[in-house]
């Protein structure tokens, strides 16, 4: 009755102090944003909604979630099987095996990241929503009931006092009491008895309300420690994500280096086994899928050395750069020289590059001061 009359604006209610209201608002805000962050993190770690529903059902049934193959591991499996069919000794087969192995490592790194994020970040957020927040919600509901009881007693006391004052001003000995009371002699005396009965109830409900308000206040103030705990979990999540992306970057960098070293061998094998295919545009595109290097200065042909074998017999340190037309290039990634004919590179440094006659289009001659050697085109950004 008290709750309905409050909603209809026909009854007064006890207002909580401003600090308590701020604690309630802060708790609600924490709960709402924790739910949103939790849901979106789950989407980030597992974009497949069907898989998320499956994991939710296993969790509710208190059963272990079955191990699921990551997309990278599945791609690695397909690449390995394709390499076995095409021939693991062929250039395409060897490349598929190398790329597949890297994809498998990426998938394993992703699995470790998901596991770490689930334990260090998602689990604490779920524990707050399913543990602390449920306790807070329960105590808030009890506090609401205590307040309604208190306000109902206040309303009864106010009504009894008003009736007592009215009866004392205009006595009416013919007036009868409510149905739950026995008829008495004086309406004023009856309402006076009613006031005396309501007073103990009011003191009791006030005590219960104050006690419950203090319990709820302590729980709400504990939200600050919850924020501290979530902050620590957030740092751990960022650290695990950083390690994951660093692993992915290193794996791809290693793969790029391996493919850069293999490219010259693969092109040479294609040219030696199929001379006609080397002059065919589709075959040339397949052998060198990287974009063509625009306008690279070429050192003049050395007398007595055929263009097609100049790269294999020529020492880059003995080559003189063109008199004009050399290009500047910015190094995109670190590169470790495989032998003395190659030039080691550091990311973001500037070097001078040019090409040799008959040289593999995936490689250039690079110069840095007195140092000189072959460098892979894929590690460079050519500047105009």
Which residue numbers in the chain have pLDDT < 70? 164, 167-191, 262-325, 384
What's the pLDDT score for residue 291? Answer: 43
Q: Environment class of residue 228 by beta-carbon count within 10 Å: exposed (0-12), middle (13-18) or buried (19+)? A: exposed
In 118-132, which residue ranges form alpha helices assigned H by DSSP? 123-127
Domain(s) of CATH 2.30.30.40: residues in the chain: 326-383
**Cα(187)–Cα(117) distance, rounded to whole angstroms?**
72
Q: What sign results for the dihedral spanned by CA atoms 252, 253, 254, 258?
A: positive
What's the pLDDT score for residue 187? Answer: 59
- The number of beta carbons lying within 10 Å of the beta carbon of residue 240 is 18
Q: How many residues does the chain have?
A: 384
Torsion region of 347: left, alpha or beta (phi above 0 gives left; psi -120 to 50 gives alpha)? beta
Backbone dihedral angles phi then psi of residue 306, each to the nearest 5 degrees: -60, 145
**Cα(76)–Cα(73) distance, rounded to whole angstroms?**
5
Q: What sign results for the dihedral spanned by CA atoms 316, 319, 320, 322?
A: negative
Nearest residue to 96 (alpha-carbon basis) of 72, 76, 110: 76
- Under DSSP, the state recorded for 130 is I
**Cα(190)–Cα(183) distance, rounded to whole angstroms?**
9
What's the pLDDT score for residue 306? Answer: 42
Q: Environment class of residue 225 by beta-carbon count within 10 Å: exposed (0-12), middle (13-18) or buried (19+)? A: exposed
pTM exceeding 0.75: no
What's the pLDDT score for residue 284? Answer: 37
Sheet with 327-331: list strands edge to edge.
371-376, 363-368, 350-354, 327-331, 380-382
CATH of span 326-383: 2.30.30.40
- The number of beta carbons lying within 10 Å of the beta carbon of residue 363 is 24
Output the CA angle 301-306-308, nearest 5 degrees. Answer: 100
Domain(s) of CATH 1.20.1270.60: residues in the chain: 1-267
Matching residue, tokens 């791609």: 75
- The number of beta carbons lying within 10 Å of the beta carbon of residue 30 is 21
What's the pLDDT score for residue 182? Answer: 38
- The number of beta carbons lying within 10 Å of the beta carbon of residue 380 is 22
Give every CB contact of residue 75 below 8 A, 6+ residues apart in sequence: 100, 103, 107
| Domain at 1-267, CATH homologous superfamily | Arfaptin homology (AH) domain/BAR domain (1.20.1270.60)
CB 372 within 8 A of CB 330: no
- Under DSSP, the state recorded for 90 is S
Copy the structure tokens of residue 364. 């250039």
Backbone dihedral angles phi then psi of residue 173, each to the nearest 5 degrees: -75, -5
What's the pLDDT score for residue 186? Answer: 56
């Amino acid at each position: 009755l008290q709750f309905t009359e409050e909603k209809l604006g026909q009854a007064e209610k006890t207002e909580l102090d401003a600090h308590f209201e701020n604690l309630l608002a802060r708790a609600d805000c924490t709960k709402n944003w924790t739910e949103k962050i939790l849901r979106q993190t789950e989407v980030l770690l597992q974009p497949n909604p069907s898989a998320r529903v499956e994991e939710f059902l296993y969790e509710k049934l208190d059963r272990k979630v079955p191990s699921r193959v990551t997309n990278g591991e599945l791609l690695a499996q397909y690449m390995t099987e394709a390499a076995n069919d095409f021939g693991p000794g062929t250039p395409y087969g060897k490349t598929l095996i190398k790329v597949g192995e890297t994809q498998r490592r990426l998938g394993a790194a992703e699995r470790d990241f998901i596991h770490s994020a689930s334990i260090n970040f998602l689990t604490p957020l779920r524990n707050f929503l399913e543990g602390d927040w449920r306790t807070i919600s329960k105590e808030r509901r009890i506090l609401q009931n205590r307040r309604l009881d208190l306000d109902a007693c206040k309303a009864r006391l106010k009504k009894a006092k008003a009736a007592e004052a009215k009866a004392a001003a205009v006595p009416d000995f013919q007036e009868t009491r409510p149905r739950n009371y026995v008829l008495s002699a004086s309406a004023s005396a009856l309402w006076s008895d009613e006031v005396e009965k309501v007073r103990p109830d009011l003191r009791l409900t006030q005590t219960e309300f104050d006690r419950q308000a203090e319990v709820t206040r302590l729980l709400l103030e504990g939200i600050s420690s919850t924020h501290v705990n979530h902050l620590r979990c957030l740092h751990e999540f960022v650290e695990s994500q950083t390690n994951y992306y660093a692993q992915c970057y290193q794996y791809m960098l290693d793969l790029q280096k391996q493919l850069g070293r293999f490219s010259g061998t693969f092109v040479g094998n294609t040219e030696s086994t199929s001379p006609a295919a080397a002059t065919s545009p589709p075959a040339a595109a397949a052998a060198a899928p990287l974009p063509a290097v625009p306008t690279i200065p070429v050192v003049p042909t050395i007398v007595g050395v055929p263009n097609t074998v100049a790269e294999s017999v020529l020492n880059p340190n003995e080559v003189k750069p063109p008199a004009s037309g050399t290009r500047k290039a910015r190094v995109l990634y670190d590169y470790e020289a495989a032998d003395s004919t190659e030039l080691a590179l550091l990311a973001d440094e500037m070097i001078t590059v040019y090409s040799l006659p008959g040289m593999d289009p995936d490689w250039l001659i690079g110069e840095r001061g007195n140092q000189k050697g072959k460098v892979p085109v894929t590690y460079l950004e050519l500047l105009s």
